[in-house]
């Protein structure tokens, strides 16, 4: 019997500890299949800071989440034990030390992780940890930006470089890596050429509009196949109308509805971990961005819960008749 969220019919949503979706803390359960963990770190940003406060804001917004997800037809907290693992403490003054600390803490958590950032620098240590457990992983990267640049001001570890480092370190299966939602000006055409050389496919925000959700989902599923999959969501993949509270907003992005529907279209894929990053609540009018991010995290947890259904079905099919 799994321990689920606080019953909102007995304790009002605005009362009680602000764990993700009002779930138990990790130390309150014997084990967790899925752990939601925060990484309040934003020393890798290149423009507006503030994503260090993202985990707290997303947890607060998640008070409104309910235990049944009709979009995926699953009650994730009944299906698997989900717990809030608190925050990973990362050095705010030393990016290298922070990256090492995040990797070590992720290694120590014996559960599939949905991580709330923090800036996109944190994706690199999370991918390092995932690759130790699963080998090189497929990646679906939802973002306005490529995040495959080489350096900023000579720094190799920033929120704009994690996926170049991940390719260089052999963490990714480069036959199964894609960006979704890319848009906005670049430094030059060479940015796209270098990104292609690293192995990435691109579905721009305009592609989502023109090709439609069903085709986009089909393209992504074919690219990922049956490989272990990591999903990384920079909330600035959403248009600023849907996510004003972020560090580097770009016009012309996805709607929150489009993003959620694409994620739901990944049901049945071998998701092994995910992150939602770059929520900066200081710029978030009426918690629009935090609410969107909380729903993204909830759908990612739900996708991981569905993995148990698939695993049990496969086990039954493999049993001798």
What tokens were used for 278? 């770059």
β-pair partners for 274: 114, 231
Please check whether residue 139 is in contact with residue 251, taking contact to mean a CB–CB distance below 8 angstroms: no
Please check whether residue 55 is in contact with residue 87, taking contact to mean a CB–CB distance below 8 angstroms: yes
d(CA 90, CA 71): 35
Helices (H), ranges, the chain:
54-61, 76-79, 95-108, 123-134, 162-168, 189-197, 205-211, 213-224, 256-264, 288-318
| Ligand-binding site membership of 145 (annotated) | yes
| Helix axes of 95-108 and 123-134: crossing angle, nearest 10 degrees | 40
| Ligand-binding site membership of 143 (annotated) | yes
Tokens 């085709």 sit on residue = 215
d(CA 214, CA 233): 19
| Ligand-binding site membership of 234 (annotated) | yes
What tokens were used for 36? 């939601």
| Ligand-binding site membership of 173 (annotated) | no
| Ligand-binding site membership of 236 (annotated) | yes
| Ligand-binding site membership of 84 (annotated) | no
Tokens 């809030």 sit on residue = 84
Annotated binding site for Mn(2+): 120, 143, 145, 147, 234, 236
Annotated binding site: 120, 143, 145, 147, 234, 236
């Amino acid at each position: 019997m799994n321990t689920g969220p606080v019953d909102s019919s007995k304790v009002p949503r605005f009362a009680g500890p602000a764990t993700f979706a009002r779930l138990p803390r990790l130390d309150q359960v014997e084990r967790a299949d899925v752990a939601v963990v925060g990484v309040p770190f934003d020393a890798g940003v290149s423009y507006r800071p503030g994503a260090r406060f993202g985990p707290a804001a997303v947890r607060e917004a998640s008070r409104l989440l309910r235990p049944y997800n009709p979009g995926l037809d699953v009650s994730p907290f009944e299906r698997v034990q989900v717990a809030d693992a608190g925050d990973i403490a990362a050095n705010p003054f030393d990016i290298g030390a922070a990256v090492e600390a995040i990797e070590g803490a992720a290694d120590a958590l014996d559960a599939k992780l949905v991580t709330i950032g923090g800036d996109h620098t944190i994706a690199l240590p999370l991918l390092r940890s995932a690759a130790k457990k699963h080998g090189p992983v497929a990646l679906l990267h939802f973002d306005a930006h490529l995040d495959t640049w080489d350096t900023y001001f000579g720094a190799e570890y920033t929120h704009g470089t994690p996926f170049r480092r991940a390719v260089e370190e052999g963490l990714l299966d480069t036959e199964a890596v894609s960006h979704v939602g890319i848009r906005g000006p670049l430094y030059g055409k060479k940015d796209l050429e270098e990104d292609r050389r690293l192995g990435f496919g691109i579905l721009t925000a305009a592609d989502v509009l023109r090709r439609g959700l069903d085709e986009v989902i089909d393209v992504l599923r074919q690219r990922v196949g049956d490989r272990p999959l990591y999903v990384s969501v920079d909330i600035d993949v959403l248009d600023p109308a849907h996510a004003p509270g972020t560090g580097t907003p770009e016009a012309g992005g996805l709607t929150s509805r489009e993003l959620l529907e694409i994620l739901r279209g990944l049901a049945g894929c071998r998701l092994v971990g995910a992150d939602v990053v770059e929520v900066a609540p200081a710029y978030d009018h009426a918690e629009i961005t935090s609410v969107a991010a909380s729903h993204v995290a909830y759908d990612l947890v739900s996708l991981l819960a569905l993995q148990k259904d698939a695993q049990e079905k496969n086990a039954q099919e493999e049993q001798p008749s």
